[in-house]
Amino acid sequence: MKHCITTFFTISCALIATALLLAALPATAQTYTNLFSYPGTDNNTSGITWPSVLAQGQDGNLYSTIQTNGANNAGSVYKISTAGQYDMLYSFCAEAGHCALTGANPTGGVTLGFDGNLWGTTLNGGTDGAGTVFKVTPAGTLTDVYNFTNGTDDSAPNFTVLQGQDGNIYGVSEEQYSGQYGSFFKLTTKDKITAHPFNYTDGATPSLPVQGTDLNFYGTTQTGGDPTCKCGVVYKATAAGKITVLHKFTGYPSDGNRPIGNLVQGADGNFYGTTYVGGSQNLGAVFKITPSGAYTLLYNFGSVTEDATEPIAGLTAGTDGNFYGVGAAGGLRYGALFKITSTGKETVLYNFCVVSCLDGFAPTTPMVLHTDGKFYGNTAGNSNGGSVFYSFDAGLKPFAKLVTWYAKDGATVEILGQGFTGTTGVSFNGVAAKFNNASDTYMTATVPAGALSGPVTVTTFTSTLTSDRNFLVAPQIKSFSPASGIVGSTIAITGVSLTQTTAVTIGTKAAKFKVSSDTELTATIPAGAKTGKTITITTAGGTASSTAKFAVVPNITSFTPTSSPVGTSVTITGTSFTGTTNVTFGGVTATSYKAVNDSTVDALVPNGAKTGSITITTPGGTATSPTNFTVTK
């Protein structure tokens, strides 16, 4: 199978000449630096024409892919320093034939794995010509991890992959030979792949998702969805592959169209993204969407003169709470860098190709925020026929980047940054942790007992670095006692990381609770609690459920009348009567009864009934009345 590598933008000599005439215009504030010009290839393109992710490695360098360069014009993996020192690490398709051993044409860049390797995909090659998943060491040793297969699973992965906090590899494919429209897939550490296809109504041609703090995955598809517009969707995927559509784009003029870039989750928990076209000017838009699907169109590109337009790449979250992005067009015609607030106020920060197109044009890859506080990115071209690697200093401070951001007490957390050789302390929201500063740019820390969800701080001899996001300490339920109880009684729950508990549910109902320590809390069984359900605890770090199920025992508080003959209706009140399976009067089973609701049961006094207690049996147990019922003649 062969796929075409497409270039989104071309530029004529006439347009370059026009740009050069703009040299007399006032220059934009120069926080932009051209660090390296990638050479052109035999295809007269650098190959940087897709949102190829730049990933910061453990050594502080940035890593990515180019689709069509290298020794065999089949693409490469490269690293580049923040000073612009470029090194090609690996050229694909070193063997003869159809690149069966290595794959060919890596289109999506790479992502840093927990193992320190760089993970990515190839669009072509592999054993069946359908693409591959690969990993490559920072020294350039490549391993073909998985080969997609025509006719049996996904193919044509057009983006890189990401590693979930569970350690598995997740990604998306562009097409599927079963006639579907791409899929979301999971590749386990045992190289077992599970694919979940899109069916066009729930989207088609998916973009790589991002993992949210709820551990679900959120992404977009470029087409499909709304049957009239076919403008793409925002979707949520569970780790098991269940796809839920959160929003269907309807396009110009009231909504965006064709979201290509990745989503990013803001500090407010909402997701932010861009569409390539659509919006009021049909030049793209910025949108916000909550994890539950509440959608807001924040900004229409082209709304002001010399605005950034047509963003192919998604947004990058800044440590200042704003979002930063690139318009592949607009500005002074050749693309621009912009900043946008969470409320939709946009500012153009830099216009490409104003004085000279040597600084690049048509930025199509997402910027990455390095731990040095600067943004780095690539353009699709420059006036020499290649592309540009650049930095942009927006005045943000250096920080610590969490590679691992969700884990249990005692787990090892990976952290990127700089100046780590002088580290004197690491804390998880104020709780001190043991650490190992493996190098000046990479360290690990152990989640300490009593760790609190929140920012991780790394203190050195000269500064304090704060993490770019909150670390989430996963709560755990170890046990609860007693195993059953009536509504209103108290249960003790033991576990780990319970200090920041915000909610407890027992039998699917919210319960009042009191935290005693980081390892114990007590809760009151709420009215309406269902038997046979797990107990769940929600903290600032997530949700934990008990492995055992809790039994809610019924309780009889009263009955009326207190005495009557056989055949009389008796109303019994109490709690947890839903699912009643048996009622007795003095040990004799009633043949006619009804659980009116959770607190009321009506029953007829049965033939042979004797004076004595009334009992009600449910799946949670048996309740006995506190007083006797008297059978009269």
pLDDT single digits (tens) 313-332: 999 999 999 999 999 999 98
**By the 8 A CB rule, do 621 and 554 touch?**
yes
Is 482 found in the same domain as 463? no
**By the 8 A CB rule, do 286 and 299 touch?**
yes
Q: Measuring CA to CA, which residue among 183, 177, 103, 82 is closest to residue 147? A: 103
pTM of the full structure:
0.90
**By the 8 A CB rule, do 594 and 602 touch?**
yes
**pLDDT category, 5, cuts 50, 70, 90?**
very low
Q: Measuring CA to CA, which residue among 311, 304, 348, 340 is closest to residue 328? A: 311
pLDDT single digits (tens) 393-414: 999 999 999 999 999 999 999 9
The residue from 523, 551, 579 where one domain ends is: 551
**pLDDT category, 165, cuts 50, 70, 90?**
very high
Cis, peptide link before residue 482, omega less than 30° from 0: yes
Residue with tokens 């062969």: 2
pLDDT single digits (tens) 266-286: 999 999 999 999 999 999 999
The residue from 453, 470, 487 where one domain ends is: 470
Extended strands (E) in 563-613:
563-564, 569-575, 582-585, 588-589, 593-597, 600-604
pLDDT surpasses 90 at 153: no
The residue from 530, 551, 572 where one domain ends is: 551
- Is residue 407 assigned to a domain? yes
Say whether 582 sits in a helix, a strand or coil: strand
- Is residue 59 assigned to a domain? no
Cis, peptide link before residue 51, omega less than 30° from 0: no
CB atoms within 10 A of CB 12: 8
pLDDT surpasses 50 at 147: yes
- Is residue 537 assigned to a domain? yes
What is the number of helices (H) and of strands (E) in the chain?
1, 64
- Is residue 388 assigned to a domain? no
- Is residue 7 assigned to a domain? no
What residues make up the domain containing 572? 555-631
**pLDDT category, 47, cuts 50, 70, 90?**
low
Residue with tokens 């108290």: 490
Mean pLDDT of 82-100: 87
**CATH code assigned at 518:** 2.60.40.10
∠ CA(274), CA(277), CA(278), 5° rounding? 95
Supply the DSSP symbol for 18.
H
Euclidean distance between CA atoms 296 and 274, whole angstroms: 12
pLDDT surpasses 90 at 355: no
Is 601 found in the same domain as 540? no
Q: Tell whether the torsion through CA atoms of 500, 504, 510 and 514 is positive or negative.
A: negative
Is 560 found in the same domain as 526? no
- Is residue 536 assigned to a domain? yes
**By the 8 A CB rule, do 248 and 258 touch?**
no
Is 542 found in the same domain as 501? yes
Cα separations (Å) of 623 from 486, 493, 580, 615? 9, 24, 11, 5
Is 523 found in the same domain as 511? yes
- Is residue 443 assigned to a domain? yes
In the chain, the number of structural domains is 3
Six token digits for residue 222: 């470029």
Euclidean distance between CA atoms 103 and 121, whole angstroms: 8
Is 511 found in the same domain as 460? no
Provide the residue type at 41 as one letter.
T
Check residue 14 and give its pLDDT. 36
Residue with tokens 């942790």: 433
- Is residue 433 assigned to a domain? yes
**By the 8 A CB rule, do 122 and 134 touch?**
yes
pLDDT surpasses 90 at 513: yes
pLDDT surpasses 90 at 212: yes
Is 563 found in the same domain as 613? yes
pLDDT surpasses 60 at 177: no
Mean pLDDT of 128-142: 93
Residues above pLDDT 70, as percent of the chain? 91
Q: Average per-residue pLDDT in the chain?
A: 90
Burial label, 16 (beta-carbon count in 10 A; 0-12, 13-18, 19+): middle
pLDDT surpasses 60 at 15: no
Check residue 285 and give its pLDDT. 98
Check residue 602 and give its pLDDT. 98
Provide the residue type at 10 as one letter.
T
Mean pLDDT of 542-569: 97
Six token digits for residue 599: 């607190």
pLDDT single digits (tens) 94-115: 776 678 888 999 988 999 999 9
pLDDT surpasses 90 at 48: no
In sequence order, what are the residues at sequence separation of 6 or more whose Cβ sits closer than 8 angstroms to the Cβ of residue 83?
A: 35
**By the 8 A CB rule, do 274 and 286 touch?**
yes
Cis, peptide link before residue 253, omega less than 30° from 0: yes
Is 561 found in the same domain as 546? no
**By the 8 A CB rule, do 389 and 430 touch?**
no
Euclidean distance between CA atoms 64 and 169, whole angstroms: 18
